[in-house]
Structure 1
Amino acid sequence: MTQSSSSRVVAIGDIHGCVHALDTLVKIADLQPDDTLVCLGDLIDQGWESKEVLDLLIELSERCNLVAIRGNHEEMFLAALESERAKESWMLFGGTTTVNSYHFGGDIDAVPAEHIEFIRSTVDFYETDTHIFTHALYLPDVPPEEWPPHILRWTLIEKPYPEPHVSGKTVVVGHTEQRSGEILDLGHLICLDTACYNYGWLTALDLTSGEVWQASKWGQLKERPSEPMPIPVPKPPVSD
């Protein structure tokens, strides 16, 4: 996918059904038709407005280039459509709030086909000339198309931290909650999950300018220092 010289790439962390936060960040980012918005997965569950989040994302897909990464909660939802046992597990891990956003006390069949198809359209990763975006983590020494599902959607960032990716590109993820409310920035790895549904913030990062915006689940914008986040210069691929 080729981007124009004036277009931007904006990444946003785990939304988890927090539509007021998402709406605030989308408005302040002022996305244009040539811009790319990368949602890093876990669009649904935990928060109370999963239906409204999916409605807004579908609308955004008509206004800009929207890339929705598949998180572990989207994986659980899709499994729940196929298995009663998987549905019971999903309901325990946030699915109940998603169902209730459609019909309080209802079941998974309350989710409309349009929303199911949107979740099915989510992707494992997205790659630009400078960055790789996925939900959870990566393998440093293999290309993203070879990363297994448990790495893509379930593995937490833990010490010792993974080495830089062999491509030299910065990897941008969510999934591992930063309960401090601040971005984890290791230079070669950036985590934008700042625990919005859990009284934290939803974080958006403009990878072009380094500008950061954060909003609470009630849609209140967080005041931040005026300096943009440093955007690392990609390193060339490691050769044998």
Structure 2
Amino acid sequence: MSQRIFAIGDIHGGLKALQQILKKAAITPNDLLIFLGDYVDGWSDSAHVVSYLIELEKNQPCVFIRGNHDDLVHQWLITQEMNNQWLQHGGESTIKSYAELSEKEINTHIAFYERMKNYYILNEEILFLHAGFTNMHGPYNEYEAYMCYWDRTLWETALSLDPNLPQDHIYYPKRLKLFKEIYIGHTPVTRINKEKPHQAANVINVDTGAAFKGKLSMIEINTKEVYQSEPVYQIYKDEKGRN
């Protein structure tokens, strides 16, 4: 594939970090950007991230995957209902950021959330989604669509798999045989003491903990070249984020 294709990890309101990595990679309109979800809940620019992405796609090929935090914010924008767990995991900063937007802008955001994809398949062999899937026949057969942006078992399975186990072995996970590569976010690799996107089996996790003490990352899927921001908490020095 001659076109550069980037998978971008969880942004969590870190607009300045996103701008850093796009600049580092010298993004052009010929590149395809696949965002793996969780644009909001964390740093103070959550609503501004969404506004930026809406403008970006006018001149840039983009795919926007739905993350669990995006779904939570979408539901809040529609119902105004809040729960303490969401507030404690970044929701409070998102509410503050949306107070700066007009009703017209908010309606544009709601439309953006509604058209996000639960997953994206490239060339019938590379899967992009926020979290994972549980159905052995693929994400398109999930009984509940939310599994695509909440599941952690796919990543846990890949991490725990014996790297010497051949794919034709009876114990080899069927889910991992469906695609050549699977790109996810959702579970920061900083939890396993990694600072860059990490691969386990054929699953490549691009969430490098931007919501916490980590950096925002993106990876070019052909060359596997990684671009990273500064640690996001250092960019937003006066904020707590989700730390």
Query: What TM bracket, shorter-length normalisation?
Result: 0.7 to 0.9
1:85/1:99 Cα in 2 relative to 1: closer, same or farther (>3 Å)?
A: closer
Contact 1:7/1:34, CA 8 A, preserved across alignment: yes
Aligned to 1:183: 197
Distance 1:153 1:102 in 2: 23
Structure 2: gaps of 5 or more residues: 162-171, 237-243
Alignment partner of 1:194 out of 203, 208, 211: 208
Task: Note the C-alpha offset of 1:75.
Answer: 1.2
Contact 1:37/1:66, CA 8 A, preserved across alignment: yes
Aligned to 2:37: 41
Aligned to 1:138: 133
Alignment partner of 1:123 out of 109, 117, 127: 117
Paired residue secondary structure (1:113): helix
Contact 1:68/1:123, CA 8 A, preserved across alignment: yes
Distance 1:219 1:93 in 2: 19
Contact 1:79/1:86, CA 8 A, preserved across alignment: no
Distance 2:135 2:179 in 1: 10
* 1:112 and 2:106 matched: yes
Distance 1:187 1:25 in 2: 26
Contact 1:80/1:87, CA 8 A, preserved across alignment: no
Aligned to 2:167: none
What is the number of equivalent residue pairs in this alignment? 214
User: Alignment RMSD, CA only?
Assistant: 2.7
The letter for the 2-side match of 1:113 is N
Alignment partner of 1:66 out of 52, 62, 67: 62
Paired residue secondary structure (2:55): helix
The letter for the 2-side match of 1:67 is V
Distance 1:8 1:203 in 2: 16
* TM-score (structure 1 length as normaliser): 0.79
Q: Percent identity?
A: 29
* 1:31 and 2:18 matched: no
* TM-score (structure 2 length as normaliser): 0.78
Deviations 1:33-65 (A, max 9, x none): 232101101011111111221122112202221
When you count helix as a share of all residues, which structure comes out higher?
2
The letter for the 2-side match of 1:20 is K
Aligned to 2:225: 211
Deviations 1:140-195 (A, max 9, x none): 73132113334311122325458353333210000011113232211410101111
Distance 1:183 1:6 in 2: 22
1:61/1:174 Cα in 2 relative to 1: closer, same or farther (>3 Å)?
A: same
Distance 2:103 2:61 in 1: 29
Alignment partner of 1:168 out of 179, 197, 203: 179
Deviations 1:56-97 (A, max 9, x none): 211220222111100001111122234454566533432210
**In the TM superposition, what are the counterparts of 1:11-30 in structure 2 within 5 Å?**
11-30=7-26
Distance 1:24 1:43 in 2: 15
